[in-house]
Amino acid sequence: MSDIEFGKQLNVTETSIPGLVVFDLPVHGDSRGWFKENWQREKMAAVGLPDFGPVQNNVSFNDAVGTTRGIHAEPWDKWVSVATGRIFGAWVDLREGPSFGAVFTVELDPSKAIFVPRGVGNSYQTLEPDTAYTYLVNDHWSSDATYSFLNLADETAAIEWPIALSEAEVSAKDLAHPRLSDVEPVAPRKILVVGAGGQLGTALRAELDGLEHVDWATRSDLDLASDDLVAARRWRDYDTIINAAAYTAVDAAESAAGRVDAWAANASGPAALARIAAANGITLVHVSSDYVFDGSSDRAYREDDALCPLGVYGQTKAAGDIAVATAPRHYIVRTSWVIGEGNNFVRTMASLAERGIDPKVVDDQRGRLTFASQIARFIRHLLDTRPDYGVYNLTSEGDVVTWADIARRVFELTGHDPVRVTGVSTEDYFAAAKAPVAPRPRNSVLDLTRARESGFTAESGDSLLQEYLAP
């Protein structure tokens, strides 16, 4: 048995491969043997081990010196440690990107462990008889998973094996793996956009254009109410789900049929995605609304203000927010007065101006516009920079306005007289309505401090409006 260094402090060493990290483990021993905490989530996460959510523990026992396995790159993360004996480990980065082909080697005994991120090829050669090493993985083995392999004797990697491969115990399968020039790099975990056919989905297509690892799903592609949702995809292949789907017919949600549809799309759907995300280590991005508040505050709403929705639409969006927050990795983007492709308030006002119709527009609701293109840009910012998980308010910057103010500005920007717009109260505007009308928050102003602190710069609402209406 090799000499084990007892009494080391838990310590982390970065390697030349991004994300591949070596850990020194405290091992306590005496004449009877030794003991160690092989994996301790709280302590190890505190010093830098990703909270990778292992679901399976495997043990590899090797009775002969020189037993050599690899080089295998699996589609999951691994925590590798030695139970008894000693191994020489070699890792080669087989992921797409600038570090493809990078090599790192180290000897491991029971006092060392290593975290191997998804897509990094790993290989081991035993240096003592009766060597056993264990690895925790964060996915169950599956024949449907996609693997990459590299030949142990690859000349580019040029691994200096302590025991020559010609003298080592190696399987015929491992000897037949391709050279580095023939290896297909491991692609990043994918992004799934749910609700790809809507106005935000359209904006996300423009923002994420050119990224090959994005999947797009409409309701016909992915039924969130299905009992088979867990089996609908190989979810461990996904890093992020962006939920761009929503029921947004605010007034129709007050009807019997609309209430059912609103709860299904805005609450039950996000809850199903949150369960999938939590079970598979996925980041869930969800878009919320100012309607989760009653609008009675005399200041801008912050992310931590208590939810207090007025109508069915707001209640369903609040329920969706609560469900999404159960996913450990979540971003809730809270917006107001969203403008995107298709029919919307701005397009309607521009059409009325052109047709010579002088509208009456509500002037007692305050807020800021949020353009779908800006939401898409902010979502990409969150995924690129990964600030703290949680809720982030997002609207355009600039003056707080009313709907009537926006209508007058649309008239002005399209070359029409803004005085043609008459401001009225919410009560007067809906006085003649025959169908149910949803209550509206009078104050929809959202505090943008947290988004700014994340490093995102929102554009002014007026400049975005000008751009939106440009011919």
Average pLDDT of 413-439?
94
Say whether pLDDT at 454 is over 60.
Answer: yes
The Cα 160–Cα 171 span in angstroms is 19
Average pLDDT of 141-146?
80
- Residues marked as catalytic: 72, 135
Residues in the chain: 471
What architecture (CATH level 2) is domain 11-182? Sandwich (2.60)
At 456, is the pLDDT very low, low, confident or very high (cuts 50, 70, 90)?
Answer: very high
Q: What is the mean pLDDT of the chain?
A: 95
At 143, is the pLDDT very low, low, confident or very high (cuts 50, 70, 90)?
Answer: confident
On the question of a common fold for 11-182 and 190-469, the answer reads no
E strands, 235-341, are: 238-243, 283-289, 330-335, 338-339
More confidently predicted of 391 and 140: 391
**What does the pLDDT read at residue 2?**
58
Average pLDDT of 331-335?
98
Each domain of the chain, given as residue ranges in start order, spans: 11-182, 190-469
**What does the pLDDT read at residue 1?**
43
Angle at which helix 256-263 crosses helix 312-324, to 10 degrees, equals 10
pTM of the predicted model over 0.75: yes
Which two three-digit tokens encode residue 50? 């990703």
The Cα 453–Cα 213 span in angstroms is 29
User: Looking only at Cα atoms, what is the longest distance across the chain?
Assistant: 95
At 412, is the pLDDT very low, low, confident or very high (cuts 50, 70, 90)?
Answer: very high
**Residue matched to tokens 């010579």:** 356
- Tens digit of pLDDT for each residue in 117-133? 999 999 999 999 999 99
CB 192 within 8 A of CB 240: yes
Q: Which of 91, 109, 110 is nearest to 100 (CA)?
A: 91
Say whether pLDDT at 101 is over 60.
Answer: yes
**What does the pLDDT read at residue 210?**
85
Query: Quick one: 190-469 is in which CATH superfamily?
Result: NAD(P)-binding Rossmann-like Domain (3.40.50.720)
**What does the pLDDT read at residue 216?**
96
Q: How distant, in Å, are the alpha carbons of 212, 332, 394, 442 from that of 286?
A: 22, 5, 12, 24
Say whether pLDDT at 6 is over 90.
Answer: no
Say whether pLDDT at 469 is over 90.
Answer: yes
Average pLDDT of 9-21?
95
Of all residues in the chain, the percent with pLDDT exceeding 90 is: 89
**Residue matched to tokens 């079970």:** 279
Collapsing DSSP states into helix, strand and coil, what is residue 289?
Answer: strand
Say whether pLDDT at 68 is over 90.
Answer: yes
- Residue type for 466, please? Q
